[in-house]
């Protein structure tokens, strides 16, 4: 709508200055002092309202807060995005290092999952580079590695992988793909690390794990796509993007890599070489230097180094026309809506293919296109099915952000997200993530040709657990329950700012509508919640407020980010 | 027209996919219309799918043990071969192309096999029709879609119908036909979350944890102090217009309408008299035995359970990991079987494995890659145990007629044949079986014979 408004303004300006035609004989005008057509100063886009800002922040951060709403509504979406993109990445590794210094660990102790989760929650709830952290989380659900593996207790290694994702969130996809490929954590997770050239005598051939999954999940997908994300077809059937021969060829490319600094002599010494803080390096003796034929008949010539082979292979994937729609559509689904129109996907693909300056793979431009797209801005105004089920884990984060959560022990520790949400950071049970990007439950979703990926993990039992988590964290999880025990690790919400509004339920609900629902509360919901608030008239103010927050947080209206 | 004739007429006209689909949905509709009650079955039976996520390397599970064939096995598998000293011989009732053994870390399975409570189904996997190596080399359209891809092959195992546009699983379709539509609790119970196997056109699995069900803390209508809040929540749900929100509401309603009956049923069951190992799979199977014991309270004459175990995608460290995996699997199944025997349920419950695919006979250095056919296990007192069904590969030579390449073995038995054999024991009629497995007629045998006649 904003763009349209600007267009009208410009058109009007042009007409007013240059279109004053008449039938009178043309008298040459003296050359005016100023040109008749002045290009107006770019009219600043009208600033978004607070509700619009909150709604935007629910896609562009871990959820709206009073401070970020104020900021966005005073800067506008575009400027806020630029500021966020320019912010340096806050590092999970650096946080862990600083934390470790304060902990006086015994010699045989080390940081564990608990501290890694604390790091993640602390960043999700409080980091200033919210957009980057949010996109990194989305990337962690595409470029999946998991603690459910041999390196699951490598706290720094996992955090370092997460930092890799946030460092590259606004960089180029090609660089992200290369750094993921050379990450020793990914190397262990999908077996590039230690992958050796063929040994025919022992029937040993290169490991196909990464070769397959990087195509299926991280770059091009199983079938050929149009730029709008729809499947290309031939005789009514989809067209496979690759076959087993291509997988084998890439498997040969990804040979010869090991921990940073490993040599031909130390190739087999896993523990001695172990280093998850630096990218893998190649060992020529273990690289297969035969010729390989990749996608689109691209040839990797014989007798090249592992690095040269890898560069061709990653370029081969990067330049495949599927990447824009395949990765772009997934990012739309993770951030904005489960069921984007083809046109929306096509616009995002176009940005991936060319950021306007001839650069392919510019992720900052892709993210901006996703978040500023007219379909994202219009939301349910133009499509009743717009939106997505919020990821259960992110409901917790938003609650704690929105109400300035803190803990008596002054840290943000939460160790059982997998129990409550069937999700935890870098905690998927396989490389296919917690839920499939295409999951459509039978019934009302499938019947309407929609998908709802997040519902794959919201089973009867997990819906109950998430609802109970929200009860513990609101009804019995506010600062009124604070105690003197500085070892108390509960994260408590703070409702102080709501208390002055308690005498005016309209004002209170308008505030919660903005903060939690991005202004989407309709009259019916307002009536229901007003009744709820009135029913609790006799109760303590904290009980009244927390009850209202709980009801909003479990409502289907909140559950669907829209 | 009685039910049988109605179905006959329907199926008499059904050729091809859309009509198979139509037949199924008509039969499902009819099931609804009949408001079928538990009267259809006067006995109790349950199936337990044990899904081995990642693709179990089952060619290290049934190992040729006579000298020549062991040598062939060892020469193709090299450093992944199980040492000959570590083999436990088994003696299947049927003739095999060579002698066979289990690895010693599966000794509990040897015991069950010898007792007649365990059977193997050899070299089974996704197929569109029976194929030879020559045929698939000449015509790739005979290959199942996205062969070697984890999730696609899992889907094939669980749907047994790769051509569907919106996938349903074969246990879900069974439920569509035979479930008691008056019972809010699904015939399909999952101890491992959402899965396609148990998703039908009209039916979904009810999902609970190995620890049971959690009750609502602040939305429990049984607590009077919650009643205002519960009624507000109900109003909020009714006010929701968004389809995704309505789908979320539906999950709440399924949870709420089953929570009390399931929790009470679980509480009514005695603790097992045997001890289960402390592994995730064993915990899941323990809950299965509990829910099976409570089937009368749950009004479920038929139950299908879904449990799973992960970690079978052994691209790396197979020599270290595989013994642990198969040992954990074996001890969990063994304990489950002992518990069922103690509870008098062993002949009523049949557990069976499925897995994405078998794995390459060749090594990638320290592991194996995605293959195709593989062996499965079927356990229970209703199983004609002590035997191997299907056909073992002729030999373990690379590039043999069974080898699609690098030791990816072309299946000789299809998922449909396997599942249909189980469905028949479960009590589905021939017509119902044909409706659930539309591709079954492409294979020559719809009963592989590993179940006792019911």
Answer whether residue B5 shows pLDDT above 80. no
- CA dihedral over A96, A101, A103, A104, signed as positive or negative: positive
pLDDT category at B36 given cuts 50, 70, 90 is low
Specify the pLDDT at position B379: 98
How far from chain centre, in Å, is Cα B292?
A: 17
pLDDT band (50, 70, 90) for residue A405 = very high
Considering only alpha carbons, which residue of chain A is nearest residue B248? A556
> For residue A10, what pLDDT is reported?
39
Q: Which residues of B touch A388 (CB under 8 A)?
A: 244
Q: Does pLDDT of B416 surpass 50?
A: yes
Q: Which residues contact B377 (CB under 8 A, 6 or more apart)?
A: B109, B118, B119, B120, B121, B333, B352, B353
Phi, psi at residue A380, to the nearest 5°? -70, -10
Nearest CA among B35, B34, B46, B112 for reference residue B295: B46
User: What is the β-pairing status of strands B349-355 and B45-52?
Assistant: parallel
- State the complex-level ipTM: 0.93
What pLDDT was estimated at residue A484?
A: 80
State residue B19's pLDDT score: 60
**Total number of residues shown for chain B:** 454
pLDDT of B168 above 60: yes
Q: What is the mean pLDDT of chain A?
A: 93
Contact B247 A443 (CB under 8 A): yes
In a 13 Å sphere around the CA of A491, the CA atoms on its Cβ side amount to 25
Q: Are B105 and B327 in contact (CB under 8 A)?
A: yes
Q: Give the Cα-Cα-Cα angle A495, A496, A502 (nearest 5 degrees).
A: 85
Which helix (H) or strand (E) is B308 found in, with range? strand B302-309
- β-pairing verdict for B374-379 and B349-355: antiparallel
CB atoms closer than 10 angstroms to residue A254: 27
CA distances from B232 to A529, A548, B227 (A): 8, 10, 9
Is the confidence at residue B4, as pLDDT, over 50? no
Q: Do A212 and B255 touch (CB under 8 A)?
A: no
Q: Is the pLDDT reported for residue A468 higher than 90?
A: yes
Confidence of residue B16 (pLDDT cuts 50, 70, 90): very low
Q: What pLDDT does residue B22 have?
A: 72
Distance set, CA A215 to CA A177, A244, A281, B109, B360 (Å)? 11, 12, 22, 38, 20
In this structure, the number of other CB atoms found within 10 A of the CB of residue A78 comes to 13
Across the interface, of B193, B363, B370, the residue whose CB is closest to A204 is B363
Rounded to whole angstroms, how far apart are CA atoms A145 and A158? Answer: 8
pLDDT (tens digit per residue) in B295-313: 999 999 999 999 999 999 9
Which of the four pLDDT bands, split at 50, 70 and 90, describes residue A469? very high
Q: Which of A148, A152, A459 to mutate to test the interface with B (most CBs of B within 10 A)?
A: A459
How many distinct helices (H) and strands (E) make up chain B?
13, 12
Asked whether the predicted pLDDT for residue B361 surpasses 80, the reply is yes
Taking residues B65-69, report their average pLDDT: 95
CB-CB under 8 Å, A196 with B232: no
Q: Look-up: residue for tokens 């002992």?
A: B338
A405 Cα to chain B: minimum distance (Å): 21
pLDDT over 90, % of chain B:
86
pLDDT (0 to 100) of residue A20: 40
What pLDDT is recorded for position B268? 97
**Tens-digit pLDDT profile for residues B265-302:** 999 999 999 999 999 999 999 999 999 999 999 999 99
State how far the Cα of A377 lies from the Cα of A379, in Å rounded to an integer.
6
Which of A355-359, A417-421, B20-24, B336-340 is least confident?
B20-24
pLDDT at residue A6, rounded to an integer: 40
**Nearest residue to B124 (alpha-carbon basis) of B386, B333, B352:** B352
pLDDT surpassing 70 at residue B33: no
pLDDT score of A26 more than 90: no
- pLDDT at site A449: 96
Edge-to-edge strand ranges of the sheet holding B100-103:
B63-64, B100-103, B87-90
| Confidence bin at A41 (pLDDT 50/70/90) | low
Helices (H) and strands (E) in chain A, counts: 26, 8
pLDDT at A165: 98
Residue A164 has pLDDT above 60, yes or no: yes
Query: Does residue A24 carry a pLDDT above 90?
Result: no
- Mean per-residue pLDDT for B147-151? 96
Residue B8 has pLDDT above 90, yes or no: no
The rounded percent of chain A whose pLDDT value lies above 70 is: 92
Average pLDDT rounded to a whole number, residues A502-528:
98
- Residue of A223, A392, A119 whose CA lies nearest to B193: A392
For A525, which of B151, B239, B255 is closest by C-beta distance? B239
Average pLDDT of span B129-154: 95
Chain B CB contacts of A555 below 8 Å: 233, 236-237, 240
- pLDDT at residue A189 tops 90: yes
DSSP H helical ranges for A381-440 = 392-402, 417-421
Pick from A209, A244, A445: which is nearest to B244 by CB?
A: A445
Task: Report the gap between the CA of A463 and the closest CA in chain B (Å).
Answer: 7
Q: Distance from CA of residue A309 to its chain's centroid? A: 30
Query: B162 at the A interface (CB within 8 A)?
Result: no
CA angle B136, A215, B415 (to 5 degrees): 40
Determine the pLDDT at residue B37: 52
* Stretch A24-28: mean pLDDT: 49
Q: How far apart are CA A214 and CA A247, in angstroms?
A: 10
Residue A5 pLDDT > 80, yes or no? no
pTM of the model: 0.93
Residue with tokens 């303590």: A540
Q: How confident is the prediction for chain B on average, in pLDDT?
A: 93
Q: What's the rounded Cα separation, in Å, for the pair B37 and B115?
A: 37
Q: How far apart are CA A210 and CA A193, in angstroms?
A: 10
Tell me, yes or no, if B252 comes closer than 8 A to chain A by beta carbon: yes
List of residues 6+ apart from A176 with CB closer than 8 A: A139, A143, A165, A168, A363
User: Considering only CA atoms, which of B386, B402, B412, B450 is closest in space to residue B122?
Assistant: B412
Which candidate in B247, B310, B312 is best for mutational testing of the A interface (most A CBs within 10 A)?
Answer: B247
What's the pLDDT at A481? 83
Count CB neighbours of B278 within 10 A.
Answer: 7
pLDDT score recorded for residue A37 = 58
Instruction: Tell me what pLDDT residue A31 has.
Output: 52
B residues 178..237 contacting A (CB < 8 A)? 190, 193-194, 199-202, 204, 206-209, 213-219, 228-229, 232-233, 235-237
pLDDT of residue B35: 56
Separation of alpha carbons B363 and B317, rounded Å: 11
Cα separation, A84 vs A94, whole angstroms:
20
Residue entry with tokens 């609101």: A474
Q: Of all residues in chain B, what percent carry a pLDDT higher than 70?
A: 93
Lowest-pLDDT choice from A177-191, A482-496, B356-370: A482-496
Q: Is B158 exposed, middle or buried (0-12, 13-18, 19+ CB in 10 A)?
A: buried
* CB environment A471-503: b (16+ within 10 A), e (fewer): bebbbbbbbbeeeeeeeebbbbbebeebeebee
Residue B16 CB partners (closer than 8 Å, separation 6+): none
Task: Looking at the complex, report in whole angstroms how far the Cα of residue B448 sits from the nearest Cα belonging to chain A.
Answer: 31
H or E segment and range at residue B336: helix B318-342
Is the model's pLDDT at B118 over the cut of 80?
yes
Q: Which of A195, A432, A536 sits opposite B150 (nearest CB)?
A: A432
> Who has greater pLDDT, B151 or A24?
B151
Q: How many CB atoms lie within 10 A of CB B1?
A: 8
pLDDT of residue A34: 56
- Chain B residues 398-437 within an 8 A CB cutoff of chain A: 398, 405-407
Higher-pLDDT residue of B24, A97: A97
Strands (E), A159-318: 233-234, 237-238, 257-258, 281-282, 292-293, 299-300
Alpha-carbon torsion (B70, B76, B82, B88), positive or negative: negative
For residue A265, the distance in angstroms to the closest alpha carbon of chain B comes to: 17
User: pLDDT at residue B13 above 50?
Assistant: no
- Under an 8 A CB cutoff, do A528 and B232 touch? yes
Residue A336, judged by CB atoms within 10 A of its CB (0-12, 13-18, 19+), counts as: buried
Q: B260 touching A, CB under 8 A?
A: no
Task: List, as ranges, residues 89-148 from B with C-beta within 8 Å of A.
Answer: 140, 146-148
């Amino acid at each position: 709508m904003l763009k349209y408004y600007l267009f009208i303004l410009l058109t009007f300006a042009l007409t007013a200055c240059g279109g004053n035609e008449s039938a009178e004989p043309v008298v040459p005008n003296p050359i005016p002092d100023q040109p008749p057509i002045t290009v107006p100063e770019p009219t600043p886009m009208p600033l978004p309202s607070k509700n619009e800002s909150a709604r935007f922040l629910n896609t562009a951060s871990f959820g709206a807060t009073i401070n970020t709403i104020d900021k966005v509504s005073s800067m506008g979406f575009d400027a806020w995005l630029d500021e966020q993109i320019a912010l340096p990445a806050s590092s999970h590794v650096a946080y862990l290092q600083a934390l470790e210094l304060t902990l006086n660990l015994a010699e045989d102790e080390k940081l564990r999952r608990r501290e890694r989760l604390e790091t993640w929650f602390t960043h999700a709830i409080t980091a200033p580079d919210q957009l980057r952290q949010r996109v990194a989380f989305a990337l962690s659900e595409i470029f999946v590695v998991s603690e459910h593996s041999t390196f699951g207790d490598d706290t720094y290694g996992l955090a370092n992988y997460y930092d890799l994702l946030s460092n590259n969130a606004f960089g180029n996809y090609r660089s992200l793909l290369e750094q993921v490929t050379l990450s020793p954590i990914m190397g262990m997770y999908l077996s590039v690390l230690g992958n050796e050239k063929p040994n025919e005598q022992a029937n040993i051939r290169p490991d196909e794990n990464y070769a397959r999954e990087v195509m299926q999940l991280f770059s091009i997908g199983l079938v050929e796509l149009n730029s709008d994300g729809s499947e290309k077809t031939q005789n009514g059937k989809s067209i496979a993007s690759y076959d087993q021969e291509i997988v084998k060829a890439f498997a040969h490319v990804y040979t010869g890599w090991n921990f940073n600094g490993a040599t031909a002599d130390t190739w087999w010494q896993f523990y001695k070489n172990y280093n998850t803080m630096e990218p893998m390096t190649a060992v020529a003796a273990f690289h297969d230097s035969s010729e390989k034929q990749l996608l689109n008949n691209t040839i990797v010539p014989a007798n090249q180094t592992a690095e040269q082979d890898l560069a061709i292979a990653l370029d081969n994937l990067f330049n495949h026309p599927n990447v824009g729609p395949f990765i772009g559509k997934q990012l739309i689904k993770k951030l904005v809506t489960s069921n984007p129109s083809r046109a929306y996907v096509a616009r995002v693909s176009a940005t991936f293919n060319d950021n306007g300056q001839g650069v392919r793979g510019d992720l900052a431009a892709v993210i901006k296109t996703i978040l500023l797209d007219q379909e994202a801005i219009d939301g349910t105004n133009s499509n009743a099915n717009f939106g997505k089920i919020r990821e259960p884990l992110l409901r917790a984060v938003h609650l704690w952000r929105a109400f300035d959560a803190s803990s008596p022990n002054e840290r943000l520790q939460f160790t059982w997200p997998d129990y409550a949400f069937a999700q935890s950071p870098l905690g998927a049970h396989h490389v296919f993530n917690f839920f499939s990007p295409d999951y459509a439950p039978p019934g009302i979703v499938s019947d309407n040709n929609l998908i709802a990926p997040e519902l794959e993990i919201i089973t009867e039992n997990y819906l109950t657990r998430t609802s109970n988590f929200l009860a513990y964290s609101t009804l019995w999880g506010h600062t009124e329950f604070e105690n003197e025990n500085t070892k108390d690790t509960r994260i408590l919400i703070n409702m102080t700012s709501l208390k002055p509004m308690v005498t005016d339920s309209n004002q209170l609900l308008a505030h919660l509508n903005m903060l939690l629902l991005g202004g989407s509360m309709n009259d019916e919901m307002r009536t229901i919640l007003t009744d709820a608030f009135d029913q609790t008239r006799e109760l303590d103010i904290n009980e009244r407020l927390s009850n209202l927050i709980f009801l909003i947080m479990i409502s289907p209206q909140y559950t669907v980010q829209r | 027209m009685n039910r049988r004739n109605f179905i006959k007429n329907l199926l008499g006209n059904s050729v091809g996919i859309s009509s198979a689909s139509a037949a199924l949905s008509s039969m499902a509709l009819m099931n609804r219309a009949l408001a079928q009650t538990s009267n259809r079955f006067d006995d109790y039976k349950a199936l337990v799918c044990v899904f081995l996520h990642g693709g179990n390397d089952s060619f290290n599970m049934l190992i040729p043990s006579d000298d020549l064939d062991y040598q062939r096995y060892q020469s193709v598998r090299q450093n992944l071969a199980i040492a000959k000293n570590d083999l436990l011989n088994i003696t299947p009732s049927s003739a095999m192309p060579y002698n066979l053994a289990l690895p010693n870390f599966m000794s509990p399975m040897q015991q069950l096999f010898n007792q007649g409570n365990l059977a193997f189904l050899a070299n089974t996997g996704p197929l569109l029709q029976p194929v030879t190596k020559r045929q698939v080399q000449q015509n790739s359209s005979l290959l199942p879609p996205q062969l070697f891809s984890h999730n696609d092959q899992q889907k094939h195992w669980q749907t047994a119908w790769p051509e569907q546009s919106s996938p349903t699983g074969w246990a879900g379709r069974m439920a569509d036909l035979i479930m008691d539509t008056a019972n809010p609790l699904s015939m399909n119970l999952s101890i491992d979350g959402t899965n396609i196997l148990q998703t039908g056109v009209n039916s979904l699995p009810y999902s609970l944890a190995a620890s049971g069900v959690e009750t609502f803390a602040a939305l429990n209508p049984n607590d009077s102090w919650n009643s205002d809040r519960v009624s507000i929540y109900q109003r909020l749900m009714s006010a929701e217009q968004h389809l995704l929100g309505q789908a979320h509401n539906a999950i709440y309603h399924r949870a709420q309408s089953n929570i009390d009956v399931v929790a009470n049923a679980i509480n009514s069951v005695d603790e097992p008299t045997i001890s289960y190992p402390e592994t995730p799979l064993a915990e899941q199977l323990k809950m299965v035995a509990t829910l099976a014991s409570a089937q009368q309270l749950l009004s479920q004459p038929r139950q299908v359970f879904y449990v799973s175990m992960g970690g079978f995608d052994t691209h790396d460290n197979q020599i270290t990991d595989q013994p642990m995996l198969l040992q954990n699997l074996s001890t969990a199944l063994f304990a489950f079987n002992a518990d069922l025997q103690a509870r008098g349920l062993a002949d009523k419950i049949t557990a069976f494995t499925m897995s994405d695919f078998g794995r390459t006979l060749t090594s990638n250095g320290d592991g194996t890659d995605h293959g195709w056919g593989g062996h499965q296990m079927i356990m229970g007192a209703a199983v004609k145990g002590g035997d191997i069904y299907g056909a073992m590969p002729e030999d373990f030579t690379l590039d043999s007629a069974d080898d699609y390449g690098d030791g990816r073995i072309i299946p000789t038995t299809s998922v449909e044949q396997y599942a249909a054999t189980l469905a028949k024991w479960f009590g589905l009629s021939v017509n119902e079986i044909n409706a659930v497995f539309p591709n079954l007629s492409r294979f020559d045998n719809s009963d592989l014979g590993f179940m006792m006649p019911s």
